[in-house]
């Protein structure tokens, strides 16, 4: 069975600094997709960034980038120039397709605090 | 365009009762997934519907069921409620239901079982 592990329950970063959130996963599949989601205190989850496992190039979305190490099954999220609005729960997620559908498995989450 | 709407936002029930939660996806979206979020277990996949058909199901007992209507709106039902069913239930919709499709989440329904 696939699993997703986020070993940092909480992280803290100073405004304008850089922080890296860790995620490891376990799978025997070669074709899958990885995501980072953000859940602010208002609870609505939004997609931050996604990565296709077959792509070696790390995904980047503005201040958010990932370090995808397929062999090590590691998928960390780097937030540069942290802003107060980045404070939230961050979930790492693994998704694979099945015939006619898909299933997403989430990590336990990392709560990020941003200090002014 | 309106986002994913979940109703009600809050529910209080007692053990043994049943409950129905509703999810209206973004207009045009055909895939709806349901998740249970608890502090101890995190987010767990319940099931996914596409064009009124359940395509995938998570590891939950048969007390958890769902359905999707022809307009893509979805409901999930939990029968014989247990204290452990207290959770935030999230619904997410996507346009095509493809594995790489972006899922848009609703704000959730907070269920408390007393």
Q: Model confidence over B37-82: pLDDT tens digits?
A: 998 888 999 999 999 999 988 899 999 999 999 999 999 999 999 9
Q: Is A81 exposed, middle or buried (0-12, 13-18, 19+ CB in 10 A)?
A: exposed
CB pairs under 8 A between A and B: 57
Best residue of B3, B42, B94 to probe chain A, by most A CBs closer than 10 Å: B42
User: Could A97 and B99 be called an inter-chain contact, meaning their C-beta atoms sit closer than 8 Å?
Assistant: yes
pLDDT of residue B81: 97
Could you give phi then psi for residue B54, rounded to 5 degrees?
-80, 120
Higher confidence at residue B56 or residue A110?
Answer: A110
Q: Is B62 exposed, middle or buried (0-12, 13-18, 19+ CB in 10 A)?
A: exposed
Tell me the pLDDT of chain A averaged across its residues: 93
Please report, for residues A47, A84, B1, B37, B88, the alpha-carbon distance to residue B112 in angstroms, rounded to integers and kept in the order given: 27, 31, 31, 12, 9
Angle at the Cα of B81 (from A89 to B92), degrees rounded to 5?
A: 40
Q: Model confidence over A59-96: pLDDT tens digits?
A: 999 999 999 999 999 999 999 999 999 999 999 999 98
Q: Which of A44, A50, A105 sits opposite B105 (nearest CB)?
A: A44
Q: Which of A45, A50, A107 sits opposite B42 (nearest CB)?
A: A107
């Amino acid at each position: 069975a696939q699993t997703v592990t986020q070993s940092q329950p909480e992280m803290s970063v100073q405004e304008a600094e850089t922080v890296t959130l860790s995620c490891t996963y376990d799978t025997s599949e070669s074709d899958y997709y990885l995501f980072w989601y953000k859940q602010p205190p208002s609870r609505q989850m939004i997609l931050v960034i996604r990565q296709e496992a077959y792509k070696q190039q790390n995904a980047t979305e503005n201040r958010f980038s990932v370090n995808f190490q397929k062999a090590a099954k590691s998928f960390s999220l780097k937030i540069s120039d942290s802003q107060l609005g980045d404070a939230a729960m961050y979930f790492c997620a693994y998704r694979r397709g099945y015939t006619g559908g898909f299933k997403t498995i989430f990590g336990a989450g990392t709560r990020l605090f941003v200090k002014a | 365009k309106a986002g994913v709407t979940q109703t009600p936002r809050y529910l209080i029930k007692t053990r043994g009762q049943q409950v129905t939660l509703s999810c209206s996806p973004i207009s045009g979206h055909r895939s709806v997934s349901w998740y249970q979020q608890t502090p101890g277990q995190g987010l767990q996949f319940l099931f996914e519907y596409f064009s009124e058909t359940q395509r995938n199901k998570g590891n939950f007992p048969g007390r958890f069921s769902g359905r999707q209507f022809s307009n893509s709106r979805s409901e999930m039902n939990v029968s014989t409620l247990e204290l452990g069913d207290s959770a935030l239930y999230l619904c997410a919709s996507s346009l095509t239901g493809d594995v790489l499709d972006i899922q848009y989440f609703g704000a959730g329904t907070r269920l408390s079982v007393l």
